[in-house]
Structure 1
């Protein structure tokens, strides 16, 4: 395993996924105090990134499971989840349950693995176009290195998200405002994906 390839893989992952740390922090904050929420978030992050990696590897070998025209519309996933989170926050507030976070009253305790996976995949959909030529040029051996490094760094990203979500100052802010920030971030993310990728013909 070439250290140069490992370094290139780590650098590529970092620059294409830096925004995921914010989203992960919000997810971990949303699930704070709920048993098993961390496991569900990590599982969802791995499912979402594994899907990105699978599509990129397949495309590097010449197979196309996800048409290029479909990529811009991936923004609908976080947009829909953001609207759902906003509706839940509004409903809880109307019922007198919101304000200082969920207070542990959510049955599922934070996002489901599929919700995290959907946001991860949609947020990383534009990365596929970056990964494909790199993986194709790396060959089979290089692809294996990239895959191992990428999947290892997913764990690091999850640890970073959990770390930030549990820092006293940040945790207090997220506990107070997380129910507002999460839908806001997801809706913004969805709109940015739709607009930047030309879904509306821009």
Structure 2
């Protein structure tokens, strides 16, 4: 085991999988400045509890993967690649102006204690961590995994400190928020490619197929399968993004809908207009007068006709 290489890999994977979590931490620290229950110590403790859950789940996934050959486990490197594609689609299909999530994660667990609130949100944001750590652990030896975990816990404390300092410097936070969204997708893509290449999963699969069939169709089969799989998943991602974008109302649409609902409810309470008032209004404007005039004119015309008829 090369200690320097293991430490470098641990630092790189931690930074890639926790860039977005830094903004969550900054939000927590900003909240702690106005809250008595949420303190920087509780935020840090909650982060360590949540991250421990993520590591345990990753180790369980690694234990399951141990029963399989190491080469096909490298296909799990497609998970970070898909995470990068998902983040890239976030750039292509941004949220509408005024669009917000139906319910924020902090609101869902508003009644929880401060430490557990931070821990739960850390776990909820840890899907990308788990999807990265399992294939990484599967390609490492036991000593390397121990180095990874120790470095992760050290960097987690440094991450909390950096987030606290960033919260104090608003201009740095704005710059980070502006460029991080463009960098993160490519970092995930690079990490996934690294895992796939390191595991030799594709050469191993091609060799297995060539041994089973004549003519060496391994490369063609793997190319077709990989293209179909990635295209299908990316198509589902695009469909989901478009569906969510079209179905989620903006804040202005919600306000307009509320105003229309109140107007309909008010009109139902007032009821239909009174019929007697309508008749009075009609008679008051003299609609019936032309009929009376028409009758008099017709009578005069008949009398004149009688006088003109010769005897």
For the aligned pair, the TM-score class normalised by the smaller chain equals 0.5 to 0.7
Paired residues of 1:43 and 1:113 also in contact (CA < 8 A)? yes
Q: Following TM superposition, by how much is the alpha carbon of 1:32 offset from its aligned partner in structure 2, in angstroms?
A: 1.2
Shift of residue 170 of structure 1? Answer: 7.5
Instruction: Please state how far the C-alpha of 1:44 moved relative to its aligned partner.
Output: 0.6
Q: Cα offset for 1:34? A: 5.1
The structure showing larger relative contact order (alpha-carbon pairs under 8 Å, at least 6 residues apart) is: 1
- 1:20 is aligned to 2:21: yes
Distance 1:13 1:118 in 2: 19
Q: Structure 1: which 5+ residue stretches go unaligned?
A: 64-78, 89-110, 174-195
2: CA distance, partners of 1:169 / 1:145? 35
Q: Superposition RMSD on alpha carbons, in Å? A: 3.2
Give the corresponding residue for 2:43. Answer: 41
Aligned twin of 1:145: 147
* 1:31 alignment partner in structure 2: 32
Would the aligned equivalents of 1:5 and 1:142 in 2 still touch at CA under 8 Å? Answer: yes
Structure 2 distance, partners of 1:163, 1:80, is 25
Cα separation, 2, equivalents of 1:135 and 1:45: 21
Of residues 128-137 and 2-11 in structure 1, the stretch that sits farther from structure 2 once superposed is: 128-137
Aligned to 1:11: 12
Does the 8 Å CA contact 1:28/1:165 hold for their aligned counterparts?
yes
The answer on whether the counterparts of 1:48 and 1:117 sit within 8 Å (CA) in structure 2 is yes
Question: Using the alignment, how far apart are the partners of 1:53 and 1:19 within structure 2?
Answer: 18
| 2:131 is the counterpart of 1:129 | yes
Matched-pair contact (CA < 8 Å) for 1:45–1:120: yes
Is residue 83 of structure 1 aligned with residue 107 of structure 2? yes
Instruction: Provide the residue aligned with 1:164 in structure 2.
Output: 166
Alpha carbons of structure 1 residues 169 and 9: separation in structure 2 relative to 1, 3 Å: closer
CA distance in 1, matches of 2:61, 2:9: 20
Distance 1:170 1:2 in 2: 33
